[in-house]
Structure 1
Amino acid sequence: MSAARRTAGGELPPDVKGSHSKRLGLIAVVVTFGGLLFGYDTGVINGALEPMKADLALTSTTEGIVVSILIVGAAFGALIGGRLSDRYGRRHNILLLAIVFVLGTVGCVLSPNWELLAVFRFILGLAVGGASATVPVYLAEVSPSERRGSLVTRNEVMIVSGQFAAFVINAVIFNVWGENTDVWRYMLLVAVLPAIVLFIGMLRMPESPRWLVSQGRTDEALQVLRQVRSPERAEAEMAEVTALAEEEVEARTGGWSDLGVKWIRRLVLVGIGLGVFQQLTGINSIMYYGTQLLQDSGFSSNGAIIANTLNGLFSVLGITVGIIVMNKIDRRKLLLIGFSLTTTFHLLVGLSALLLPDGTAKAYTILVFVVCFVFSMQGTIGPLVWLLLAEMFPLKIRSFAMGVCVFALWLANAVVALGFPPVVEALGIAPTFFVFCGLGVLALIFIATTVPETRGLSLEEFEEQFSSKHS
């Protein structure tokens, strides 16, 4: 055992409560405004699209471009954001992202035509993707191992809260100014407020101590740890992080060349698989097209709009449950439970659509199973994948690897978002959900055979164990 781990009982001192706990809580609140923006900007298009189509004379083709271009931008934002975060720091990158959120939002609001709107939606996507890759890493690196699960998961809470807020705010704004052709611009403009809060808040937040160590700025790193740990814990954890950083410098880790290292390549492939399978559950097809799905199930237009708010509500409830259980159940076990539940509800939605006669009973049965799917997904798979991506990778390539995996996640998101409406139109609800069911079975096999366990281990302990096992 290294000197970094020769503490009492061979473990780090416990994470006792104190003033440092409040500081850590404040950091989590501020930085997760990036997640709130992520959620709002991906969810707001749901209600803004109809008045936007009328105002800008969108065709079905240009409508698809305007909706999907943000997702494409997010894929590249995740990749670029990860590299910038590794080079310039997590805090610096989040400050930059806050500025891009403001510029992208204002650009969308002022766009006179769909071409400019698409350009600024792409820019906004860069910020969304960058936040998705940077915020979980920052949270993981400032959190003690005992609280890492719940703190990183707060970002997912803010994402689904942002989506739910978008649904509610859209409804309120539409009811007040619905006759105004520019009403969609008001819906989008709301996102400027949390972006400003994120920028101002991050000016007073510290840099990640683990990133500071990777840059040789150990004195600054220790000062940061003393802000968010007890004195004894800060000293012990600093020794651990420093020792591992020295080992990584010797190994020359830090970029694409690391994919030639067997255990790192294996971790990155696992991360890519997790991101892709998370999206292949179809969760964002529900978030983007939930109203359309419910209409196809038998609801009226007004009934579908009202019923669709349940998806946002149960997303928030699901993630709340996820926070409670996250640190009480092993990651792998909870992932297996989550995919078992979502696969089951996919099957039930498909069977309901196939076997039940058209009518109210069929519509409400499908609604119940869809809501159960959303609740199960957001209580397990949604936050767990982001948590695992934030805690699996070695320090020197953590943001780089996160960016690669989230890039794959966003591409899978784009495929599902673009493919869901035409597939449902061509095949119907039942076959579409049977496809999701089959993908869920593949995900269960993937998790059971490849995904490592990280619960209860510090970021450095996990790295040491995994590299020893798979080198």
Structure 2
Amino acid sequence: MASIPEKDPHWMAPEFTKPGQDFEHDDHVNLHEDVDTLIAQMETEIEAAGPQKDMFAINFKDPKHFTYFLVVFASMGGLLSGLDQSLISGANLYLPKDLGLDSKQSSLVNAGMPLGAVIGAFLISPCNEYLGRRISILIACVLYTVGAALCAGAIDFPMLVVARLILGSGVGLEGGTVPVYVAETVERRLRGNLVSLYQLMIALGEVLGYAVGAIFLGLPGNWRYILGSSVVFSTIMGIGTLYVPESPRWLMHKGDYLNAFRVWKRIRGTATRESREEFYEMKSSLEFEVLQVQEGRTKRFPWMDLFTNPRARRALVYANMMIFLGQFTGINAVMYFMSVLMGSIGFDDTQANYMSLVGGGALLLGTIPAVFYMELCGRRFWALAMLPGFFTGLILVGVSYNFDPAVDTVLVQGLYLTGLVIYMAFFGCYATLTWVVPSEVYPTYLRSYGMTVSSAWMFLSSFIVTYNFTGMFQAFTGIGLCLGFYGGIAVVGWFYQLLFMPETKNKTLEEIDLIFERPTMVIVKENIKNSRATCKDLLRGRFRKVATETQRVV
């Protein structure tokens, strides 16, 4: 098979040429010819190789339908993740009494899943790199099933902690794999929306978890049914994952161009010019990355490029700062202790379980706009518009702790629930970015390693916030923790995003490479310039332009 020229510039989209440099007509003609030549060559090789036998391979007449099929099943990982995060909330009302757990043991049981997810995150690189995205998701389903079954049958504290660690390992592995799988398979104009679907499924899973807690509320040993219920969902996801293909970018990364093209035809087709050119871009970019590695980078330890390669290092810092802002504003601590917090403002155990649906429902509803409009509005809009919103919610939640729930019950519950709904709704939109950003910013040959770092950091942050929540709540008081600590991080984070956050909407993964090739100060200067222009648009009432312009977002 003929190789793409080593320094062929034609795979770059016109908007990513250097300032003052334009593509000539001949360049476009040559690009189209190169693309058509490659596609014709791949078609010839597939015909010569004959049909591929795969008992799980299914085909749709319209490749778009197949794309939606695989995204739904892959995103069920989000449903499982959310389900297992919120199930513990209902179980917290009964589990400590049944097993005789003290407050520290109860905190460790709650934090066991995010701690196990850190372990699972370190499985991302070896599993994704050597086994592929599809097998990694299947392994995660097995860990989910085993962990949930052990939770349901736990007879003492050590067994329950081990079960939560195993369950968390599944969360960590699929949390770093599913968003990457979706980002690598869908077309660029839908990537942000469909990766956001993962967060929507997490939110849906959290609501479902609270509902499951309410269903089993009156049964003896109800926490066992609550924690064991996720076995059903992990089994369904495991069966569904058997029918989705491997990521074409991973196959190409491994040098299997023929099967990469087979999968590409199934999930994207080759009828449109955009699909044909993206396949060409993908192959050209990956071959160029291989050449770079061969010419000077460490082949034995490629993950070192995350720290030594400026382009990869910028992506590493950017992705993990977004995760920090998502986790250290308190979301998982609030989710895990939702029922307990409801009890602290005057609800009994039964009411607390049902009222937890309010917070989970707000998170779910808040996620929906991002799923539909992530690519229309862009990453910067969601980041900069959502942080002030959930900061407002944190203010109301914090203020509610200044009143005595025994005396001012209605006032406390009104302030707390209003603040909680605002916080959850705005965070629902923001949380999508903690999956979208890491899944798209790393170069292909480092994506598995980058997602290992990002996922490990995400779940380690969740563990830190969750495990220390009770102690921090007592030390800071409610208003100090919600408004001072979580709210303070939100304010500082807003200014960080204003200056350092580039826009990546509607770009292929290969075009995003070029964004991060630029020095950080170039991005900062561009953001400052665009923010000034956006301020003028806001003052003139051009709100639609602010929400939809690619770069010009405050």
Range into which the TM-score falls when normalised by the shorter chain: over 0.9
CA offsets, 1:434-466, max 9 Å, x none?
Answer: 221111111112212222211011000110232
Say which of 499, 505, 515 aligns to 1:455: 505
In 1, Cα distance between equivalents of 2:73 and 2:28:
33
For 1:280, the equivalent position in structure 2 comes to: 328
8 Å contact kept, 1:222–1:234 = no
SS class of match (2:475): helix
- 1:423 to 1:244, Cα distance in 2 relative to 1, 3 A: same
Q: Secondary structure of 1:320's partner?
A: helix
Of 320, 324, 333, the match for 2:368: 320
What corresponds to 1:261 in structure 2? 309
Partner-residue secondary structure (3-state), 2:337:
helix
Structure 1 stretch displaced more, 297-306 or 51-60: 297-306
1:405 to 2:444 alignment = no
Q: Secondary structure at the match of 1:197?
A: helix
Q: CA deviation at 1:205?
A: 0.9
The whole-number CA distance in structure 2 between the counterparts of 1:334 and 1:80 is 31
- Identify unmatched segments of 5+ residues in structure 2: 1-7, 13-26, 37-59, 523-554
Q: Please name the residue that 2:262 is paired with.
A: 223
- Map 1:8-47 → 2, pairs under 5 A: 19-47=62-90
What is the count of residue pairs matched by the alignment?
Answer: 463
Distance 1:115 1:300, change over 3 A: closer
| Partner SS for 1:457 | coil
- 2:306–2:450: 8 Å Cα contact kept in structure 1? no
Q: Which residue of 2 aligns with 1:419?
A: 468
Q: CA deviation at 1:148?
A: 0.3
CA distance in 2, matches of 1:184, 1:342: 31
Match of 1:342 in 2: 390
CA distance in 1, matches of 2:347, 2:229: 30
Contact 2:148 2:163 in 1 (8 A): yes
Asked if 2 retains the 8 angstrom alpha-carbon contact of 1:298 and 1:358, the reply is: no
Match of 1:237 among 260, 278, 282: 278
The aligned counterpart of 2:434 is: 385
Sort the Cα spacing of 1:460 and 1:347 in 2 relative to 1 into closer, same or farther, 3 A.
same
Task: Look up the match of 1:332.
Answer: 380
Residue 299 of structure 1 deviates from its aligned partner by 4.3
Which deviates more, 363-372 or 107-116?
A: 107-116
The residue correspondences of 1:30-429 to structure 2 (distance < 5 A) are 30-175=73-218, 177=219, 180-181=220-221, 183-231=222-270, 232=272, 233-252=274-293, 254-354=302-402, 358-379=408-429, 381-429=430-478
The answer on whether the counterparts of 1:79 and 1:403 sit within 8 Å (CA) in structure 2 is yes
Change (3 A) 1:7 1:105: farther
**Which amino acid in structure 2 is aligned with residue 222 of structure 1?**
F
Q: 1:30 Cα deviation (Å)?
A: 0.9
Q: What SS does the aligned partner of 2:209 have?
A: helix
**CA shift in 2, pair 1:30/1:7, >3 Å:** farther
CA–CA separation in structure 1 for the residues paired with 2:234 and 2:354: 29
How many angstroms does 1:225 deviate by? 1.1
CA distance in 2, matches of 1:109, 1:304: 22
Whether the 8 Å CA contact 1:353–1:429 is kept in 2: the answer is yes
Which amino acid in 1 is paired with 2:328? L
* Residue 157 (structure 1) shift: 1.2
Give the root-mean-square deviation of aligned CA atoms: 2.4
Asked if structure 2 preserves the Cα contact closer than 8 Å seen for 1:79 and 1:400, the reply is no
Quick one: distance in 2 between partners of 1:8 and 1:39? 49
Q: CA deviation at 1:118?
A: 1.1
Kept after mapping to 2: 8 A contact 1:145/1:458:
yes
Mapped contact 1:28–1:139 kept (Cα < 8 A): yes
Any conservation in 2 of the 1:338–1:376 contact (CA below 8 Å)? yes
CA contact (8 A) 1:85 1:134 kept: yes
Please list the CA deviations of residues 105-129 of structure 1 after superposition, one character each: whole Å capped at 9, or x if unmatched.
Answer: 2222223222122112111111001
> What's the CA shift for 1:54?
3.0
Q: TM-score, normalised by structure 2?
A: 0.79
Q: C-alpha displacement at 1:186, in angstroms?
A: 1.5
CA deviation vs aligned residue, 1:137-168 (integer Å, no higher than 9, x gap): 00000010000011111111111111111110
Per residue, is there more helix in 1 or in 2?
A: 1
CA distance in 1, matches of 2:237, 2:92: 26
Q: In the superposition, relative to structure 1, how do residues 95 and 304 fare at CA in structure 2: closer, same or farther (>3 Å)? A: closer
Could you tell me how far apart the structure 2 residues matched to 1:218 and 1:89 are? 15
Mapped partners of 2:400, 2:359: distance in 1? 18
Asked which structure has the greater CA Rg, the reply is: 2
Identity in percent:
26
Which structure's relative contact order is higher, taking Cα pairs within 8 Å and 6+ residues apart?
1
8 A contact 2:124–2:451 mirrored in 1: no
Cα offset for 1:355?
7.4
The residue aligned with 1:3 is 10
| 2-structure distance, mates of 1:3, 1:136 | 28
Deviations 1:25-72 (A, max 9, x none): 100111112111111112111112333223322222322222211111
Question: Does structure 1 retain, via aligned residues, the 8 Å contact 2:362–2:421?
Answer: yes
Q: Structure 1 stretches of 5 or more lacking a match?
A: none
Tell me the amino acid that sits aligned with residue 2 of structure 1: P
Between the aligned partners of 1:30 and 1:170, the Cα distance in structure 2 is: 24
Separation (CA, whole Å) in 1 of partners of 2:266 and 2:275? 9
Q: TM-score, structure 1 length as denominator? A: 0.92
More off after superposition, 146-155 vs 286-295: 286-295
- Does the CA contact (< 8 Å) of 2:11 and 2:31 recur in 1? no
Deviation track 1:158-197 (CA, whole Å, cap 9, x = no partner) reads 111111111101111123x2xx23x222222221112112
Of the structure 1 ranges 349-358 and 188-197, higher mean CA displacement relative to structure 2 is found in: 349-358
By how many angstroms is 1:469 displaced? 4.3
Shift of 1:425: 2.5
Q: 1:98 to 1:140 in 2, by over 3 A?
A: same
